[in-house]
Amino acid sequence: MNTYLEKIAHVPPWDNGAGPLWNRASSIIARIGEDVVISLPVLNPGMTNLSRVSPALYVKRGDAQFVRMYHDPAHFTREPMPIMVTPGGELVMTVNPMLGQPRYDGPRQGDPSRPEILIFCPENGYQSPVRQVSRWSEDFTFIEHSYRGSAIDRETGEMILVNQFVENDQGKFAWTYRDTEGNYPSSGRLTFPVRTCYAPISIRNRQVHIVGVSDIHEPNVDWKNYKFQHTQREWDYDFRMLLYKTCDDIALGRFTETICIASRDETCGYVFPQDIYADDNGVCHVLYTTRRIWHPFMRDRFFPHVEFESTLEYAAVKNGSVIHRALLDRDAEAADGKFIETEYCASFQELTDGSMVILYSKWNSPGHTQRPDGYYRAGLNSLGDAVPVKLSIPPSMFCLAGRRSGNRPRDAADVFILAGEDAYYASVPMT
């Protein structure tokens, strides 16, 4: 089985703080039989709304090239529009269209929005979708910054939808459960100790797992002031704690207390979730990345004896406790003392034999590392052993058609890759 690569389209910058993989925790690529479908919005460059991209779908039928086969120029959203596959082969897209009117002058600003789902049928060529307004427990104030997440149970078609709402100028999460009949029997607020975003979410047998990262203004006054001296930016959010919650039966809607899977809070570092996978035994497998110190100028002032380090890590969580940890990849400081700014992107792929493997990319690594920049795959039972994957484009951000979005097991991963301003599809052998 050979690797296949195809360029889909040029993607100009959205200039609104988001992009096609801005919230890659919910996938924008899906496989339905021999069709591969990608959600890749169309930019209206003249608009000054933050919501300035409209829904569009690209399809690859068998060996044919990708073509754009759906576009709705009347609705605009700020963020990517993830897609899921139902057991019957329907395609479900989550959208967050603004309720304001398009503007073509003035400053870039946001608008109130209304979370919806679009349901496409392959029988009519994914045209004329059924539009459904999601139902929530309260009359929340939703805006263009949705940070939304979605997941579907591949066997039943039950869905969990998460969306940020605004209350007292703070972003918080609302959740709603959609059953097999299309009803919304339970919903509520998803409460973390601090604002939490970029969260992969899973639903399986009505058990829900969610992992997010703390996304708050720098709470340490000394660190905040020192960073401002260097950056001259008021924007100063920290991503330093990886937080986890679960619910054993989403129809009842009782989530557990939050646990912290990983933290880089003591060294003003960085943590970010990559992907999760829930197995038959209720174990949530978590991929995440870290930097021991996020900003290099912080070390000399606050942590002079702490070494730079970037990692790709794994944790298994069950019954509210981390039961296993593993290190997949690590780039550490050498004698030169230079800043380590290695970037990673990683996802789970389920194979036809039921096993789970990991696809990951790394870039910006220093020259002395064990593994150079590139794409790699590793088995869940042999996390330290990574095999290079040959792709003719530089390692970049990606997402794949995984189980949490309803996709079936496959020995080749269907992958969407954003390399610079170009969007690609790759079929990558994983065995």
**Residue spans of alpha helices (H) in 1-153:** none
Q: What is the fold of 4-429? A: Methylamine Dehydrogenase; Chain H (2.130.10)
Phi-psi region of 235 (alpha: psi -120 to 50; beta: other; left: phi over 0): beta
The encoded tokens of residue 95 equal 């959208």
* CA 248/CA 233 separation, integer angstroms: 42
Burial per residue of 81-98, b for 16 or more beta-carbon CB atoms within 10 angstroms, e otherwise: bbbbbbeeebbbbbbbbb
- The phi, psi pair for 300, rounded to 5°, reads -60, -35
- The phi, psi pair for 57, rounded to 5°, reads -125, 140
**Residue spans of alpha helices (H) in 2-74:** none
Rounded to whole angstroms, what are the CA distances from 93 to 259, 263, 322?
Answer: 30, 33, 33
Q: Looking at residue 169, what is its pLDDT?
A: 82
- 3-class state of residue 384 by DSSP: strand
**Residue spans of alpha helices (H) in 260-354:** 297-302
Neighbours of 390 (CB within 10 A): 11
Q: Looking at residue 384, what is its pLDDT?
A: 74
* CA 330/CA 384 separation, integer angstroms: 10
The tokens 């789902």 sit on which residue? 117
Q: How long is the chain?
A: 431
Count H helices and E strands in the chain, helices first. 2, 33
The encoded tokens of residue 299 equal 């070390």
* CA 408/CA 352 separation, integer angstroms: 8
What does pLDDT average to in each consecutive run of 10 residues of the chain (431 residues)? Answer: 93 97 96 96 98 97 95 97 97 97 95 97 89 96 97 98 93 96 96 96 98 96 96 93 98 97 97 97 97 95 96 96 96 93 97 96 94 94 85 97 98 97 97 91
Q: Looking at residue 134, what is its pLDDT?
A: 94
| AA letter at 384 | G
Q: Looking at residue 116, what is its pLDDT?
A: 97
Neighbours of 256 (CB within 10 A): 12
165-169 long-range contacts (CB < 8 A, ≥24 apart) are 165/140, 165/141, 166/141, 166/142, 167/140, 167/141
The encoded tokens of residue 101 equal 């009117």
The tokens 């925790």 sit on which residue? 25
Q: Looking at residue 125, what is its pLDDT?
A: 85
* CA 412/CA 351 separation, integer angstroms: 8
* CA 198/CA 183 separation, integer angstroms: 26
What's the N-to-C CA distance of the chain in angstroms? 9
- 3-class state of residue 302 by DSSP: helix
DSSP letter for each residue of 97-152: -BSS----SSS-B--BB--EEEEE-GGGTT-SPEEEE---SS----BS----EEEE
